[in-house]
């Protein structure tokens, strides 16, 4: 059994003195975990940093065995995060969320576009917008996406302003006004595919995605919500106030 693919390193753990257990989020095979033998030396240490884009040659003698990886560096994308605290914190949250939520060896199909965009546009001014899109569409990929097409109370498609935390459905301005303090902001920039939202809009979107990830995935599966993701939201709140 053997295949080749490329993707981003989202986790690495030492195994013995010189080897690693590596988790890579790949284009064709989704999240895959494999063993890299005798890879920890001065010459190759920089290859195995979180966020790096690598190509892998995966092989196993039988289906039940863990994959063994041969790894080559495609692009040292981790360097784009190291010198910026907010970017590094966001990368940490990204890696933990994908490691905890995505199934192994499941083709991500169109969702990989949002993974790739996060890394491809990290040096752009609106880099955090691409991370927001990633989290929004992560809900959809996990089967817990929101229904934002019409107001759940009136059925109208006009003037949608809020999202209900109970139902995950849109609420129009008129129906939601009396309860607005208990509702989330409608993510208009996502719906309209706007990549230049305000910092506050991004914060409100990530506050909402955190709520639904907690409620509909982590609590449902008896898992603890990642602390580094919770910390990221606190950091963004300070900069959006």
Instruction: Indicate the burial class of 76 (C-beta count within 10 angstroms; 0-12, 13-18, 19 or more).
Output: middle
Say whether 205 sits in a helix, a strand or coil: helix
Q: Per-10-residue mean pLDDT for the chain, 241 residues long?
A: 94 90 95 91 86 94 79 96 93 97 94 97 96 98 96 96 97 96 97 95 96 97 95 74 47
The tokens describing 164, both together, are 């209900």
166: left (phi over 0), alpha (psi -120 to 50) or beta: alpha
pLDDT for the residue numbered 1: 82
pLDDT for the residue numbered 61: 78
Superfamily of domain 2-77: Nucleic acid-binding proteins (2.40.50.140)
Residues written for the chain: 241
pLDDT for the residue numbered 40: 85
| Distance of alpha carbon 223 from alpha carbon 96, whole angstroms | 12
Whether the Cβ atoms of residue 131 and residue 51 lie closer than 8 Å to each other = no
Which candidate, 12, 76, 68, places its Cα nearest to that of 40?
A: 12
The tokens describing 181, both together, are 């303090």
| Distance of alpha carbon 227 from alpha carbon 103, whole angstroms | 20
Check residue 9 and report its DSSP letter.
E
Whether the Cβ atoms of residue 165 and residue 174 lie closer than 8 Å to each other = no
| Distance of alpha carbon 195 from alpha carbon 220, whole angstroms | 32
Tell me the pTM: 0.93
Q: Residue 234: which residues within 8 A CB-CB, separation 6 or more?
A: none
The tokens describing 66, both together, are 């863990």
Long-range contact pairs involving 218-225 (C-beta distance under 8 Å, separation at least 24)? 218/100, 223/100
pLDDT for the residue numbered 80: 97
Whether the Cβ atoms of residue 76 and residue 46 lie closer than 8 Å to each other = yes
pLDDT for the residue numbered 8: 98
Q: Where are the domains positioned within the chain?
A: 2-77, 85-146+187-240
pLDDT for the residue numbered 16: 83
The tokens describing 183, both together, are 């509702």
pLDDT for the residue numbered 241: 47
């Amino acid at each position: 059994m053997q295949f080749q693919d490329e993707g981003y390193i989202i986790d690495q753990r030492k195994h013995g003195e010189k080897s690693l257990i590596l988790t890579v989020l790949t284009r064709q095979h989704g999240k895959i975990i494999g063993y890299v033998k005798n890879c920890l030396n001065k010459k190759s240490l920089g290859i195995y940093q979180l966020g790096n884009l690598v190509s892998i040659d995966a092989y196993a003698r039988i289906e039940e065995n863990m994959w063994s990886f041969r790894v080559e560096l495609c692009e040292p994308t981790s360097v784009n995060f190291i010198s910026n605290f907010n970017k590094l914190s966001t990368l940490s949250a990204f890696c933990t969320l994908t490691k905890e939520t995505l199934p192994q060896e499941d083709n991500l199909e169109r969702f990989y576009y949002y993974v790739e965009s996060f890394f491809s546009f990290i040096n752009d001014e609106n880099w955090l917008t691409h991370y927001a899109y990633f989290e929004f569409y992560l809900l959809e990929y996990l089967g817990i996406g929101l229904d934002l097409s019409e107001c759940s109370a009136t059925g109208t498609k006009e003037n949608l302003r809020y999202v209900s935390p109970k139902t995950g459905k849109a609420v129009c301005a008129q129906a939601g006004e009396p309860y607005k303090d208990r509702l989330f902001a409608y993510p208009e920039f996502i719906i309209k595919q706007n990549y230049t939202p305000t910092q506050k809009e991004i914060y409100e979107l990530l506050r909402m995605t955190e709520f639904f990830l907690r409620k509909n995935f982590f609590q449902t599966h008896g898992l603890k919500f990642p602390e580094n993701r919770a910390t990221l939201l606190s950091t963004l709140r300070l900069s959006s106030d």
